[in-house]
A and B are shown apart, each in its own frame.
Chain A
Amino acid sequence: MCSYITEKTEINGSAKGAGGWSNVTAAHIYYDHPFHASLDHALSIDFMSGDTTRKVAVEMSAESARALVASILAALESGEQAHG
């Protein structure tokens, strides 16, 4: 289906794309038809600089996205423990 549902969250960080490193200020996240991935639907994340400039874009399966979320949380938990 085609939806226009986009989750947005502020980001404080950097991303490296074809043009090198740059600041990113937000992530736009949605689950819909991808542009490139060989999937019918994909979880897409656009790392943004400002409201309209997309620095890095990724498309992945729902299964991959859930695994990524779990890995991010696990890395945060172990890393924060290690660094106090």
Chain B
Amino acid sequence: MTYRGMIAELVTITGDKGDKIEAYYARPSGPGPFPGVVLIHHMPGWCDWTLEAVRKLAHHGFACISHHLYHRYGPGTPDDLAAKARTAGGVYDDEVVGDVKGAMAFLRAQKESNGKVGMIGFCSGGRHTFLASCRLDGVDAAVNCWGGNVVVDDPTQLTPQRPVAPIDLTANLKAPLLGLFGNDDKNPTPDHVNTLEAKLKECGKNYEFHRYDGAGHAFFAAERPAYRVEQANDGWQKVYAFYRKHLG
């Protein structure tokens, strides 16, 4: 079922350490109840495609929120704040987790919520989704879209901002996990995906992975050459089905 009517607006959530964070919230028109989804944007920032993806999920029946990970570097435009965050070495994992917790609380506090909340993230947001799903209670379904650096080959790449390889937290994962990956991706490579899958199996986790031939990184990105229409259409269908199964 799809919803042609929706309400989309800017809201403020209470993020890590009580910080007020700007967010974009879209949900179908009507009383609901609707399942919630926290969408984590990719490293280039809180871009128009991110907001389109929020509306896409609302169109398919989810109350979806995406908060601006780089809000603390503001004020400024999303691209300028992304540049500032990059120069600073990226956002801190602890802040990301704290902000996700705030976004989840926002969703559950809405009158249209059915009480279930999933997560989805793209690129670095896929890593954040895996990380937060390992560290937070209350994530009902997690979708990692080609999250790089979940597996860290070189420990010197660990930084104060990203001190832990998320794969090392796999034992703590409570949510069912959907993973979408392109077999031509350089990060995560197919070997990284296999390593993560082996860890999930070892830990007895509930997961499903889908690997796409003819696709690399960011194959949902309709405005970039990386876009792969068949793989992207199938991937979105996998996302909707996964959420309908686990979020009601």
Residue positions of A touching B, CB distance < 8 A: 1-2, 4, 6, 28, 30, 32-36, 38-40, 46, 51-52, 54, 57
User: Taking the nearest CB of chain A, how far is it from the CB of B71, in angstroms?
Assistant: 15
Q: Is B83 touching A2 in the complex (CB atoms < 8 A)?
A: no
Nearest CB in chain A to that of B43: its residue: A2
Given contact pairs A2-B148, A40-B218, A40-B224, A57 touches B83 in the complex (Cβ within 8 A): yes
Nearest CB in chain B to that of A42: its residue: B44
Q: Does B87 contact A (CB under 8 A)?
A: yes
Q: Which of B137-187 contact A (CB under 8 A)?
A: 148-149, 159, 161, 185-187
Q: Is A39 touching B44 in the complex (CB atoms < 8 A)?
A: no
Which residues of B lie under 8 Å from residue A57 when comparing CB positions? 79-80, 83
Of listed A33, A34, A40, A46, residue having the most chain B CB within 10 A: A33
Nearest CB in chain A to that of B124: its residue: A2
Q: Is A2 touching B187 in the complex (CB atoms < 8 A)?
A: yes
Of listed B44, B84, B89, residue having the most chain A CB within 10 A: B44
Q: Is B87 touching A36 in the complex (CB atoms < 8 A)?
A: no
Residue pairs across A and B with CB atoms within 8 Å: the count is 62
Residue positions of B touching A, CB distance < 8 A: 42-45, 47, 73, 78-80, 82-84, 86-87, 89-90, 123-124, 148-149, 159, 161, 185-187, 216-218, 223-226
Instruction: Tell me the bound Cα distance from A1 to B189 in angstroms.
Output: 10
- Sample of 12 more A-B contacts, CB < 8 Å, known A2-B124, A40-B216, A54-B84: A4-B159, A4-B161, A28-B87, A32-B43, A33-B123, A34-B44, A35-B44, A35-B45, A35-B79, A38-B224, A40-B217, A40-B225
Nearest CB in chain A to that of B216: its residue: A40
Give the 6 A-B residue pairs with the shortest CB-CB distance, closest first.
A1-B187, A2-B43, A35-B79, A2-B124, A40-B226, A33-B44
User: Taking the nearest CB of chain B, how far is it from the CB of A22, in angstroms?
Assistant: 15
Of listed B43, B73, B159, residue having the most chain A CB within 10 A: B43
Which residues of A lie under 8 Å from residue B45 when comparing CB positions? 35
Q: Is A1 touching B87 in the complex (CB atoms < 8 A)?
A: no
Nearest CB in chain A to that of B73: its residue: A52
Nearest CB in chain B to that of A36: its residue: B79
Given contact pairs A1-B148, A2-B148, A57-B79, A39 touches B224 in the complex (Cβ within 8 A): yes
Q: Is A38 touching B225 in the complex (CB atoms < 8 A)?
A: yes
Which residues of A lie under 8 Å from residue B226 when comparing CB positions? 40
Which of A1, A4, A6 is close to B186, meaning CB atoms less than 8 Å apart? Answer: A1
Instruction: Tell me the bound Cα distance from A46 to B43 in angstroms.
Output: 16
User: Taking the nearest CB of chain A, how far is it from the CB of B243, in angstroms?
Assistant: 25
Q: Is A6 touching B86 in the complex (CB atoms < 8 A)?
A: yes
Which of A32, A38, A54 is close to B223, meaning CB atoms less than 8 Å apart? Answer: A38
Which residues of A lie under 8 Å from residue B87 when comparing CB positions? 6, 28, 46, 51-52
